[in-house]
Amino acid sequence: MVAVMMIVKHSALQFLGGFGVLFFSGLILTWISRWTNNTFRQSVLPKLGLYVFGIVGIPLHEFCHALFAKIFFHDIGSVKWFDPNAKGGSYGNVVHHYNEHNIYHRIGLFFIGMGPVLLAPVFLFALYSFLLPHPVPFSFHLSDLGYLANGFSKSLLGKANWSSGGFYVFLYFAICLTSQMELSPEDFKIARDGILPVLLLLLVVNVIAYFCHWNVHGRLVEFFSTGLLWWSAFFAVAIFISLMNFVFCVIAFNLLNKICGKDTINPFQD
């Protein structure tokens, strides 16, 4: 009984420490993106966000789904990259098929559903590193995360940016990405369908490790800790940019609405 409790405990800790963190951090980015899109929709120019930023952000969003579908060997039936006239708000989608009896295919559902919020922070940090004139040197050491957050904000607000064309290109792509990170109910459903297979796999691995006397738990915790440390730095970048974009849009479009005699925007109301 003690062994069973230990196996369940280790599996739960591994799941929450790895996939659980990714899932809930994805929720944060989705909420900010949803508030930004609500701001666009309630503005005097409700289609501006879709045609100016969605034309880049939506194909990138679908690319993330499609990339993970390929990685986990799903058959991609079709991809709608961008359809501004689509009904129901589904301006893009990826139709994929998989074998329900294939555990690798089932595990892939989590990554396919969460794809945009998992990869968008990486895209943002890559754009930041290549386009800004004075990007903050990145380090994977935990002690540098506070330095990174502080240095990154100063880097974005630096005077050198205003005379750099790369900075404005970065801002455009950053808005495109952050305004289209919102996961649809279908995306969350796909991701949820992958949670149980992941948890079952961890249980099987921990059972085998127990009987073989392998320290799998320690190795997995170390692996997840290192991977999440790297991703957390990218995620912090995405959160910072998403919030800046959201605040700017709320201020700018509320001002525009006021000039045009329209209602005040409430970004938290759909």
Q: What does the pLDDT read at residue 68?
A: 94
Give the pLDDT mean for 130-144: 65
CA–CA gap between residue 63 and residue 66 (Å, rounded): 5
Residue with tokens 């605040």: 247
Q: Which of 70-84, 85-99, 145-159, 231-245 has the highest mean pLDDT?
A: 70-84
Q: State CA 56 to chain mean position distance.
A: 16
β 93-97/75-80 pair status: antiparallel
Asked whether residue 194 carries a pLDDT value surpassing 60, the answer given is: yes
Phi-psi region of 177 (alpha: psi -120 to 50; beta: other; left: phi over 0): alpha
Q: Which of 183-187, 209-213, 235-239 has the highest mean pLDDT?
A: 183-187
Give the pLDDT mean for 149-161: 69
Give the pLDDT mean for 157-182: 80
CA–CA gap between residue 69 and residue 76 (Å, rounded): 7
**Predicted confidence (pLDDT) per residue in 110-122, tens digit:** 899 988 888 887 8
Top-confidence residue, 73 or 19:
73
Give the pLDDT mean for 95-106: 89
Residue with tokens 């880049």: 56
Q: What is the pTM of this model?
A: 0.80
| Burial (CB count within 10 angstroms: exposed 0-12, middle 13-18, buried 19+), residue 48 | middle
Phi-psi region of 96 (alpha: psi -120 to 50; beta: other; left: phi over 0): beta
Q: Which of 17-21, 87-91, 197-201 has the highest mean pLDDT?
A: 197-201
Q: Which of 7-11, 57-61, 85-89, 179-183 has the highest mean pLDDT?
A: 57-61
**Residue pair 122/128 in contact by the 8 Å Cβ criterion:** no
Q: What does the pLDDT read at residue 142?
A: 47
Mean pLDDT of the chain: 79
Confidence of residue 185 (pLDDT cuts 50, 70, 90): confident
CA–CA gap between residue 16 and residue 9 (Å, rounded): 11
